[in-house]
Structure 1
Amino acid sequence: MGLLWGRIRKNNKHKVSKVVEELVTPNHFWCPISLDMMKDPVTLSTGITYDRESIEKWFENGNYTCPVTNQIVTNFDLIPNHTLRIMIQEWCVQNQKHGVERIPTPRIPISPFDVAEVLIHVKALTLSLDPYGCLELVQRIEKWGAESERNRRCIVENGAANVLASAFDAFANDSNERNVSVLDQILSCLSWMFPLQLEAQKSLGSLASLHCMVWFLKQQDISNKEKSIVVLKELLSFGDEQNMKALVEIEGVNEILLQFLNKRVFSTPTITKASLSVVWYLVSSSKSEKIKLAFVELGLVSSMLDILIDSERNLCEKALAIFDSLCSCDEGRKEAYDNALTIPLLVKKLLRVSALGTDYSVSSIWKLCKFEERDEGKVLVEALQVGAFQKLLLVLQVGCDDKTKVKATELLKLMNPYRAGVECIDSDFKNLKRSN
């Protein structure tokens, strides 16, 4: 009896699989572009129906013809084919027993008119400093953006970032505590509206906006910290010296950035990466001498070396960039000389992070050796001991940019007189302690 039941089960399984194999999807359900079943069928002016996502990508890629008829398209309106969509959904329901999933009814994409209408109301509510009314509208924008990438593009292209940044400035200037909900929601929206236009940059670069974002960084909520540091990173990426100067003059901002880098266990990868970028923009600006000195005094040199020990390549590259910038000043080099990790780590990272990371490593070693004033030759000897000579030869062999080539060549010349009698040791850091 058991054998017979087993045979019946096997036969039934075979029949079901055969039915699935013989299940044929009607040809008019397939999108002519993607050759997948359409989820949101829309009809073009040429009379051909496509899946909305596929035909929109087709036009976004610079095509102006109907893919099937090859006719020039002059009217780009996409008319939802509700009849066909309902037929596809009904067919999916009828064949659910064969493993076919029902296609959900697509949401109607927003139009530029929808966005413009909401933004007009946001402006009005901002002028009257109505945080609750404005919050409701910003949440609607956030919801639209979450529905589809197409909605996000429509929102951004119709100037939402400028309006929201202006609202952020106004509510921040009024009161952070009283308007915290709408300020948080605006940051959430702005975080997917990059790159910011000039008008938005000006609004977010105001003293009130900068103070508000730093205020968010000091709060306990991790989500608020992430949104704020990401928007700050985007703002500083444009290289506006006034924004950088205004930011570093805010009390406690340097300390909070170092805290994000030193106590990464209490942070998130997003916060750590964005914080590194913010620090890099600050220390590499054209008027950064005071900024560098302030960060050096807070222990940024040791923090960067700690990141180089066991972090992923992306973080290491940013840390090497910051370290190289700090080595441009006397105070930064002094801290680097006093740390036993400096030369072994810089040599270890040659050709191990990225081409750009190697450039920064070579530049840092060059600065430390070139401008060494005390114990002349000590750094060169230490670099030789951990294999710098061989690594630099390899850098030249595999290729690098002209500036790095010049520095690597000069380093080899500086090291050459000290090579005799110097034994190369393994730089595995086993006998080195992490900086405090």
Structure 2
Amino acid sequence: MIFGWRRRKNSHRPEGKHEMEIVIPNNFRCPISLDLMKDPVTLSTGITYDRESIERWFEAGNCTCPVTNQIVRNFDQIPNHSIRTMIQDWCVENQQYGVERIPTPRVPIAPIEVSEALMYVKASAKSLDQYGCLELVQKIERWGAESERNRRCIVENGAADVLAYAFDVFANVSIERNSSVLEEILTALNWMFPFQLEAQKSLGSRASLSCLVWFLKHQDLSGKQKSIAALKELFSCGDQQHVEALADIEGVNDLLLEFIKKRISPTIAKTSLSVVQYLISSSSPSSEKMKLAFIEKGLISSLLDILIESERSLCERALGVFDTLCSCEEGREMAYSNDLTIPVLVKKILRVSELATNLSVSVIWKLCKYARKDGETVLVEALQVGAFQKLLLILQVGRGDETKEKTTELLKLMNPYRAGLECIDSADFKNLKRSF
């Protein structure tokens, strides 16, 4: 087997000339990946590996040296500077054949360095030294930018807890005066998901949530994206108190609705829908209040606009919010009042994804089952846009038990009105994967 670079000549090379093969010397190749080593390190067993490869080996739960099969009792990885220098010299010698010089790797940070930096971050926050804290956070970010290994080391040593604490402290004093350090901390926190309990408590405080909402109002697109991502991550941890605390902040529903309506960024729109879903999903009084507020402000119409033409993940999130809003009478009444509701929902069945199909069926089922008036109108409209045939196909291709039950009930409700009303759009079934 030959390992090496192949240099292709340009199109004007003389006939008879072949590709040039540069063979990598065996002692320059990592015994695990068989690739040219970029950061050679030597274990206590005396064998040299590329740092990234051997770290992945140990992270997978192995405790032996891959070459010698000896138990490794000391996991220290000593940089092999002589091999690295030889590899770099070899690269320079073969640059004419397309070989690029391996850059000198940075020394990975040690846990003690991270702990020391975080200790000073906490001290700076306690003394309200925003400039000292800013420098330390920027230093941590530079470490993280150097390698994935550094990021893991930073996160594993509790950086998110300390930075979230600092965020809460500076937000409590003055958001506008401390906006620079708060923004820098938020930037760092965005690559430290998921949050542990201490970080959740700090970011879920009234001051921190108010700061995140302030960023949503006043920051640029990047700042808004970081803030909404932090909110989503915080709520995904499942603490309902944080959701209720955000719901109590004035104007947050208007902001989220604006992001959904205007769709200034696909990422912000999707994340905003996820945050809205957390805000309206519980049975708490504040959640019910938010649900009614979103309905009154026209969220259902905005969701239908998204569903008409959007990519898969945005469509699924919009349907999830739509389904939750239609769990209350006010949401269903607003859906009935929009002529697009039934045609758009039926169109999404079997067209987007299994999740989108399940959610579309759920919304149609709620609209048909709980209609106090004009229930017959809804059923007839669904039949006219081809719902019956699609529902039959759902039973044939197989879905979850809950969706099957709703589908069966819908078919029973529609059956008496079928005669002469069905309309089938064959385009909906072109790419259907049958289970039989």
Q: Is the pair's TM-score, using the shorter chain for normalization, greater than 0.5?
A: yes
Q: Structure 1 residues 426, 351: closer, same or farther in 2, change over 3 A?
A: closer
User: How far did 1:14 drift?
Assistant: 6.2
- 2:277 is the counterpart of 1:277: no
- Assess if the C-alpha contact under 8 Å between 2:388 and 2:422 holds in 1: no
Deviation at 1:285, TM superposition (A): 2.1
Q: Which moved more, 1:126-135 or 1:417-426?
A: 417-426
Instruction: Name the amino acid aligned to 1:200.
Output: A
* % identical equivalent positions: 71
Any residues of structure 2 matched to 1:78-93 within 5 Å, and which?
78-93=77-92
CA contact (8 A) 2:259 2:268 kept: yes
Tell me the CA shift for residue 414 of structure 1. 0.3
Once the two structures are superposed, residues 246-292 of structure 1 have per-residue CA deviations (whole angstroms, 9 ceiling, x without a partner) of 1111111100101111111xx22221121111011111123222221
- 2:295 maps to which residue? 296
Segment drifting more, 78-87 vs 368-377: 368-377
Instruction: Report if the CA contact (8 A) 1:344-1:427 is conserved.
Output: no
Q: Which residue number in structure 2 is paired with residue 60 of structure 1? A: 59
Instruction: Specify the SS of the correspondent of 2:84.
Output: helix
Three-state SS of the structure 2 residue aligned to 1:377 is helix
Structure 2 CA distance, aligned partners of 1:126 and 1:253? 27
Post-superposition Cα deviations, 1:189-243, rounded to whole Å, max 9, x if no partner, equal 1111011001100000000000000000001411110110000000011222111
Give 1:376 deviation, angstroms: 2.9
CA distance in 2, matches of 1:45, 1:426: 69
- Are the equivalent residues in 1 in contact too, given 2:280–2:290 (CA < 8 A)? yes
Cα distance in 1 between the residues matched to 2:247 and 2:94? 63
- Could you tell me how far apart the structure 2 residues matched to 1:353 and 1:77 are? 50
Corresponding position: 1:350 with 2:352: no
Q: Cα deviations across residues 322-381 of structure 1 (Å, max 9, x unaligned)? A: 000000001100110011111011111112222222111111000000011112310000
Counterparts in 2 of 1:405-416, with a 5 A limit?
405-416=404-415
Code of the aligned partner of 2:266:
P
Is 1:321 equivalent to 2:320 in the alignment?
A: yes
1:348–1:427 CA contact under 8 A, matched in 2: no
DSSP 3-state at the match of 1:218:
helix
Amino acid in structure 2 at the alignment position of 1:291: M
In structure 1, what is the Cα distance between the partners aligned to 2:123 and 2:426? 63
User: 2:127 maps to what in 1?
Assistant: 128
Cross-structure match for 2:379: 380
For residues 148-190 of structure 1, give each alpha carbon's deviation from its aligned partner in whole angstroms, at most 9, with x where no partner exists: 1111100000000000000000000011111111100111011
Deviation at 1:127, TM superposition (A): 0.4
Matched with 2:6 is none
CA contact (8 A) 2:253 2:290 kept: no
Question: 2:197 corresponds to which residue?
Answer: 198
Letter in 2 for 1:285: S
Write out aligned runs for 1:390-405 (5 A): 390-405=389-404
| Structure 1: 4+ residue segments shifted above 3 A | 425-428
Q: State the one-letter code of the partner of 1:217.
A: L
CA distance in 2, matches of 1:137, 1:167: 12
Q: Contact between 2:308 and 2:344, CA under 8 Å: does it hold in 1?
A: yes
Measured after TM superposition, the shift of residue 84 of structure 1 is 0.3
Residues 426 and 390 (structure 1 numbering): CA distance in 2 closer, same or farther, change over 3 Å? closer
- Please name the residue that 1:47 is paired with: 46
Between Structure 1 and Structure 2, how many residues are aligned?
414
Do 1:239 and 1:281's aligned partners in 2 also have CA atoms closer than 8 Å?
no
Shift of 1:410: 0.3
Judge conservation of contact 2:32–2:54 (CA < 8 Å) in 1: yes
The CA distance in 2 between the partners of 1:83 and 1:296, in whole Å, is 68
Match of 2:96 in 1: 97
Query: 1:223-262 to 2 correspondence within 5 Å?
Result: 223-262=222-261
Tell me if structure 1 keeps the 8 A contact 2:386–2:422.
Answer: no
1:25 CA drift (Å): 2.0
Mapped contact 2:164–2:203 kept (Cα < 8 A): yes
Partner of 2:70: 71
Q: Is the 8 A contact 2:231 2:275 kept in 1?
A: yes
| Kept after mapping to 2: 8 A contact 1:247/1:253 | yes
CA contact (8 A) 2:389 2:424 kept: no
Deviation string 1:306-330 (CA, Å, 9 cap, x unpaired) is 1111110001111111000000001
Q: Does 1:158 find its partner at 2:141?
A: no
Change (3 A) 1:14 1:209: farther
Say if 1:119 and 1:163, in contact at 8 Å, map to a contact too. Answer: yes
Partners of 1:67 and 1:376 in 2: CA distance = 69
- Structure 2 gaps of 5+ residues are 1-11, 428-436
Cα deviation 1:17-72 (Å, max 9, x = unaligned): 56x32x33211000011110000000011111000000001111111111111111
For normalisation by structure 1, the TM-score amounts to 0.93
What residue number does 2:106 align with?
Answer: 107
Measure, in 1, the Cα distance between the counterparts of 2:29 and 2:422. 70
Instruction: Tell me what 2:432 maps to.
Output: none
Equivalent position SS for 2:218: coil
- Which letter maps to 2:394? V
One-letter identity of the residue aligned with 2:220: D
Distance in 1 (CA, whole Å) between partners of 2:72 and 2:426 is 65
Q: Counterpart amino acid of 1:269?
A: P
Letter in 2 for 1:86: T
Contact 1:239 1:285 in 2 (8 A): no
Q: Which amino acid aligns with 1:186?
A: I
Distance 2:313 2:205 in 1: 31
The two structures have a TM-score, normalised by structure 2, of 0.93
Write the letter of the residue equivalent to 1:202.
K
Instruction: Please tell me the root mean square deviation across aligned C-alpha atoms, in Å.
Output: 1.5
Shift of 1:411: 0.3
Q: Which residue of 2 aligns with 1:116?
A: 115
